Structures are given as structure tokens and as C-alpha cells.
């Protein structure tokens, strides 16, 4: 099947992305409601992970561009065109944006596929579902209520109110740019904040196309801004900028630690999702046919490039060998191909550096004594000799102290670890620095409930894996992050709580005594 063409615009209403001097699409920064060239005039190339070909140039922003974006966001925050809107009016704008996403889902999916090589079958679902973030938080915007507090102090009336924080900086990864942006952007806007978005230097196109829909929805200029460029050239200036009040980051733990330390210097609040090393635990009484599918979903869907990847498969010893055999059989006829083909099951790794990292971890696993059961090499896909494809890889004889079991690979690499009983499974599951997600497979309801109480993870699935909803909170324990995204908890991260005291006394009591 030939690759899907990448539309330059969804409809005549959407402004077209221009071509640069090389005849490729050229993406500029989006600041104050306008697409503008970077202050330094520099651009860098981006490649298609399927073909390895350069297809666009992106603005290489600098500290000056970050400053301009933050100032535009602050000006918009103070402007009555945004600050003066009622919460209901903000909600109406967001629902309009949700409608535009639904109308243009095919276009957004095609651009994101070109950007990071994800399966079009999955992207179609993600783009259509993404509208729900804006519907949900748009509906929630005018339902955040303060409280009237019955205090023990006579002569004063006390109530609380929630207010927007101000300028929010959102920093996104490359694996799911638009959905992960929406997890941050939708609640931030619903709360009344303004935003500066910084996508990964590997995946930026879909976000710069998406902001055109924000324009069409009628958001005032400067409410949403996008700066692109290399992390080491822009990250510090964005995180430390004096106008930024909150940082929302999704990415690796090392980058998260650095950002958190920088933010702490000016007491900025942070929300962070930092990945995981999630256990997918299968007991001997599980429905093994469904559990095999759950194991595949957990680690090989999206080529393992997902923060909740069930990269540690914990198998009760009595089913260990049989389950591995079933898993290998299930993967025998796996289909590689172009992500635009609905029949493709395994798409390429999104970036060349990530592919190199996966290869390093496979080598390390073998050096540490793990047994390679299948995969462990690049996949050769007909028609795409330069594609970044990698075989689904399974290691057995893994012990939980190996690096392959402790560190996030972020690729289609599965570590199989045996366990004896519930206590042993819990010990192994919790013996990592992460705590983002976990899967439990058992037909014993009481066991399932016990395990959800004992396993330390922010999301736990029982007899399913990777189910998500905009209505449910998402986040991790330990090194997997700080705060929550999604659900009502998600919008609370972007609000300030204020306590107001109003005197009902005619005369002020003794001013030298605290009441």
C-alpha cells in the first residue's frame, strides 16, 4: 500500500504551511497569534522515520524567542479579551475547538504519522478521542466552585475561590505529541491560564498545524504560543523565565530532575510524568489467551514507545514456559510496514537516537546474562531500507537487578521475570524506582483487589492494559512523576486557591490582637 499523502491543510479555512528555500515545508514559531521566523534565523531538518528522508525544516528557536513567547502569553493573560471572559465563555471556545478537531481528525492523524511514524490506525482513534479533552474540560470550566467556610471567628465571613495561575509552560515528548499536549493544554485553558508549548525537536509539525485550529476556534492572540528548537538551547530559559508560573512536563526522569531543580530556584510549581518500568503480572489462574494479548498490548503496541509500557512481564513459575511459548507463537506472523497501511501492526521507531538506545539496551541485557528468546535486531522491511524498524524482542532469565529490568528502554523490548506467589510478585513489582502503571491478570477477584492495594503505581489495570479516559486521573508514584493529569484532578493543577475574609463587624476589634 502506498503511503498516505500528507495534506498541507485540512480545508480552505486553514492557512497553508509555506515551503522554504529547499522546497520543503517550513515551520516557524507561533507567538502572539502569528507565525514568525526565529530570532536567529536558523532552522533544522526533520526526517520521516519510515523512509529516512528529510521532509520539513523547523525553526531553531533561542532564548530571545522564548522571552517573546512568554511576554505574549503574559500580555494575553492580562488582556480583558481573555481574562475578562466568563468561565462559560472559555468553555464554549473549548467545545468549538473540540468540534474542529473532530472535523479535521484525518488531517491531524496524517501529519502526526509523518512526524513520528505511529500507526495511522491508532492515530485515527487518538485524534478523534482527543476532542473529548476539550469537551470535558470545556464543560468543567464553569463548574469549579469554591466553598463557604463556617469558621470559629465571629464577625467575619470566609469563602474560597479558585483562580488561574498565569503563564504555563508545557514541554512535550515525541511519542504522542498531540494527545499529550491536550492532557496539559485543555485543563490549563479551562482554568483561564495562557500557555507556551515546547514540543520535542523530533516531533513538532502536528502541533504547529494544530494551533491553526485554535485560531479558527476564536481564542485571543497570545493565549497559546509554540516555541520549537533544541532542548539544551531553550529548556533552561523557558523553565527559568520569570513570567512562567507552572511547568508541565512529560519525558524522561533525568530531564525531569533537572527541570524540577531549575523550577525550584524560583519556586515554580511542576507537574511531571516521567515514565516507568511497569510490571504486567500474570497469575496461573488467569485467562492465558487474554493475558497474552495483554502482554502484547503492554509492550509491543506503539513499538513499545509509551510511558506505561508493560516492559516487565512477571509470570508465575507454573505457567512461565508455556506463556513464553504462546507469546512467541502470537508474534510469529507480526506485520511490519508503512504506518499508513491499516494492516501494519509494527511501525518504525520514531527517532534514530531512540533506535540506537534500544540497540544498546539489548546488548547490555545479553552481557548481563539474559537469554534472548526472539528479536534483538533491526527488522528488514521491503520497500523501506532506511526505515527505523526493530523486531519485537523478548528476554527470559531476567533478574530484577539487571539494567534491562530497572531502566526504561522505551522500545519493543520485554523482560520476563518469574515469581512464586503474591508476596513475591509484589516484591518484584515494587522493586524499581518507578511507579507509573501495572497490570494484574487473574480470575480471582479477591487476589486482584489485594494486588491493587499492594502494588505501588498510579494506574493499575486488572485483566486489561492501556485503558485510559479523559475523566480519570493519570500520574505516577516515586520517580514516575509529580501531580496528576486527566479528570477533575487535572484541572486543579492549574488553579490557585484563595481564601477571602470579609468583616461583618461595624467596628474593628483591638488591632494588636490576632483574631
Q: Would you say residue 472 lies in a domain?
A: no
Annotation says 307 is catalytic: yes
400 lies in a domain?
yes
C-alpha cell of 71? 511576554
CB 329 within 8 A of CB 373: no
User: Mean pLDDT throughout 432-445?
Assistant: 98
The rounded distance, in Å, linking the Cα atoms of 353 and 166 is 35
Reported as a single tens digit per residue, the pLDDT across 320-356 is 999 999 999 999 999 999 999 999 999 999 999 999 9
The residue annotated as part of the active site, out of 112, 201, 209, 273, is 273
User: Residue 80: CA atoms inside 13 Å, Cβ hemisphere, count?
Assistant: 0
Asked whether residue 197 falls in the same domain as residue 164, the answer is yes
The pLDDT, as a whole number, for residue 514 is 74
* CA-to-CA dists, residue 489 to 161, 316, 470, 474, 475, angstroms: 16, 36, 11, 9, 10
Is 387 in the same domain as 406? Answer: yes
* Assigned domain for 514 exists: no
162 CB-side CA count, 13 A: 18
User: Are 408 and 265 within one domain?
Assistant: no
Q: What's the number of domains the chain is made of?
A: 2
- The range of the structural domain enclosing residue 340 comes to 279-462
Separation CA 257–CA 260 (nearest Å) = 5
66 and 106 in contact (C-beta within 8 Å)?
no
CATH number of residue 324's parent domain: 3.40.309.10
Residues 325 and 351 both lie in one domain: yes
Q: Cα separation of 171 and 491, whole Å? A: 17
493 and 405 in a common domain: no
Instruction: Note the pLDDT of residue 5.
Output: 57
**pLDDT tens per residue across span 413-429:** 999 999 999 999 999 99
- Residue 201 and residue 289 in one domain: no
In this structure, the answer to whether residues 411 and 442 fall within a common structural domain is yes
217 and 294 inside one domain: no
Spatial distance between the Cα atoms of 31 and 195, rounded to a whole number of angstroms? 11
Q: In CATH, what number is assigned to the domain containing residue 102?
A: 3.40.605.10
332 lies in some domain: yes
**Whether the Cβ atoms of residue 375 and residue 392 lie closer than 8 Å to each other:** yes
> Rounded CA gap, 362 and 407, in Å?
12
Summarised one tens digit per residue, pLDDT across range 191-247 is 999 999 999 989 999 999 999 999 999 999 999 999 999 888 888 899 999 999 999
Residue 165 shares a structural domain with residue 193: yes
User: By three-state DSSP, how is residue 30 classified?
Assistant: strand
Please enumerate in sequence order all residues whose Cβ is within 8 A of that of 83, keeping only pairs 6 or more positions apart, or say none. Answer: 77, 192
Joined together, the cell numbers standing for residue 7 give: 495534506
β-strand pairing of 244-250 with 224-226 = unpaired
Give the model's pLDDT for residue 154.
87
In a domain, 5, yes or no: no
Q: For residues 30 and 174, state if they share a domain.
A: yes
Question: How many of the other CB atoms lie within 10 Å of CB of 429?
Answer: 27
Residue 471 included in any domain = no
Of 70, 170, 201, 307, catalytic: 307
**Which H or E run contains 106?**
helix 105-116
**Residue 372 falls within a domain, yes or no?**
yes
Q: Is the pLDDT of residue 178 over 60?
A: yes
Q: What percent of the chain has pLDDT over 70?
A: 97
Instruction: Please indicate, yes or no, whether residues 446 and 488 belong to a single structural domain of this protein.
Output: no
pLDDT, tens only, 28-72:
999 999 999 999 999 999 899 999 899 999 999 999 999 999 999
Residues 427 and 339 occupy one common structural domain: yes
Contact 163, 192 (CB under 8 A): yes
Q: Does 29 fall in a domain?
A: yes
Is residue 215 flagged as an active site residue?
Answer: no
pLDDT per residue over 250-286, tens digit each?
Answer: 999 999 999 999 999 999 999 999 999 999 999 999 9
Say what the pTM is.
Answer: 0.94
d(CA 492, CA 123): 28
- Predicted confidence band at 11 (pLDDT cuts at 50, 70, 90)? low
Q: In the predicted model, what is the mean pLDDT of residues 175-188?
A: 96
Whether the Cβ atoms of residue 324 and residue 360 lie closer than 8 Å to each other: no
pLDDT at 3 over 70: no
Amino acid at each position: 500500500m502506498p503511503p498516505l499523502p500528507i495534506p498541507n491543510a485540512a480545508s480552505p479555512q486553514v492557512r497553508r504551511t509555506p515551503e522554504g528555500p529547499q522546497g520543503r515545508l517550513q515551520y516557524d514559531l507561533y507567538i502572539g497569534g502569528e507565525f514568525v521566523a526565529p530570532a536567529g534565523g536558523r532552522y533544522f531538518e526533520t526526517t520521516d522515520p519510515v523512509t529516512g528522508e528529510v521532509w520539513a525544516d523547523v525553526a531553531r528557536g533561542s532564548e530571545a524567542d522564548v522571552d517573546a513567547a512568554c511576554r505574549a502569553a503574559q500580555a494575553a493573560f492580562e488582556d480583558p479579551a481573555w481574562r475578562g471572559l466568563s468561565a462559560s465563555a472559555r468553555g464554549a471556545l473549548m467545545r468549538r475547538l473540540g468540534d474542529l478537531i473532530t472535523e479535521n481528525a484525518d488531517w491531524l492523524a496524517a501529519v502526526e504519522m509523518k512526524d513520528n511514524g505511529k500507526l495511522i490506525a491508532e492515530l485515527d482513534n487518538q485524534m478523534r478521542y482527543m476532542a473529548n479533552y476539550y469537551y470535558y474540560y470545556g464543560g468543567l470550566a464553569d463548574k469549579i466552585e469554591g466553598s463557604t467556610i463556617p469558621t470559629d471567628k465571629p464577625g467575619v465571613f470566609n469563602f474560597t475561590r479558585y483562580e488561574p495561575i498565569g503563564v504555563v509552560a508545557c514541554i512535550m515528548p515525541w511519542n504522542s505529541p498531540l494527545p499529550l499536549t491536550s492532557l496539559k493544554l485543555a485543563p490549563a485553558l479551562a482554568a483561564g491560564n495562557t500557555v507556551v508549548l515546547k514540543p520535542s525537536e523530533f516531533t513538532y509539525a502536528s502541533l504547529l498545524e494544530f494551533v491553526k485550529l485554535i485560531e479558527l476556534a476564536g481564542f485571543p492572540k497570545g493565549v497559546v504560543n509554540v516555541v520549537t528548537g533544541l532542548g539544551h538551547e531553550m529548556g533552561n530559559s523557558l523553565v527559568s523565565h520569570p513570567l512562567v508560573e507552572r511547568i508541565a512536563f512529560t519525558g524522561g526522569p533525568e530531564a525531569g530532575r533537572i527541570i524540577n531543580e531549575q523550577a525550584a530556584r524560583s519556586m515554580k510549581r511542576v507537574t511531571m510524568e516521567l515514565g516507568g518500568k511497569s510490571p504486567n503480572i500474570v497469575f496461573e489462574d488467569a485467562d492465558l489467551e487474554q493475558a497474552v494479548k495483554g502482554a502484547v498490548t503492554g509492550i509491543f503496541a506503539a513499538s513499545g514507545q509509551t510511558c506505561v509500557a508493560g516492559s516487565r512481564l512477571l509470570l508465575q513459575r507454573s505457567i512461565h514456559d508455556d506463556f513464553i511459548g504462546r507469546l512467541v507463537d502470537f508474534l510469529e506472523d507480526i506485520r511490519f510496514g508503512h504506518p499508513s497501511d491499516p494492516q501494519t501492526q509494527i511501525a518504525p521507531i520514531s527517532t534514530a537516537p531512540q533506535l540506537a538506545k534500544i540497540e544498546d539496551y539489548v546488548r547490555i541485557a545479553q552481557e548481563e546474562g539474559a537469554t534472548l528468546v526472539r528479536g534483538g535486531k533491526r527488522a528488514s522491511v521491503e520497500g523501506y531500507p532506511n526505515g527505523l524498524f526493530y523486531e519485537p524482542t523478548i528476554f527470559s532469565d531476567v533478574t530484577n537487578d539487571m539494567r534491562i529490568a530497572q531502566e526504561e528502554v522505551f522500545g519493543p523490548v520485554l523482560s520476563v521475570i518469574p515469581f512464586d506467589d503474591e508476596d513475591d510478585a509484589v516484591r518484584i513489582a515494587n522493586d524499581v524506582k518507578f511507579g507509573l502503571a501495572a497490570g494484574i491478570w487473574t480470575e480471582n477477584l479477591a487476589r486482584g483487589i489485594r494486588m491493587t492495594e499492594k502494588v505501588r503505581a498510579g494506574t493499575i489495570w486488572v485483566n486489561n492494559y492501556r485503558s485510559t479516559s479523559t475523566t480519570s486521573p493519570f500520574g505516577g508514584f516515586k520517580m514516575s512523576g509529580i501531580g496528576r493529569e486527566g479528570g477533575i484532578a487535572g484541572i486543579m493543577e492549574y488553579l490557585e486557591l484563595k481564601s477571602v475574609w470579609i468583616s461583618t463587624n461595624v467596628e474593628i476589634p483591638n488591632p494588636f490582637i490576632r483574631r
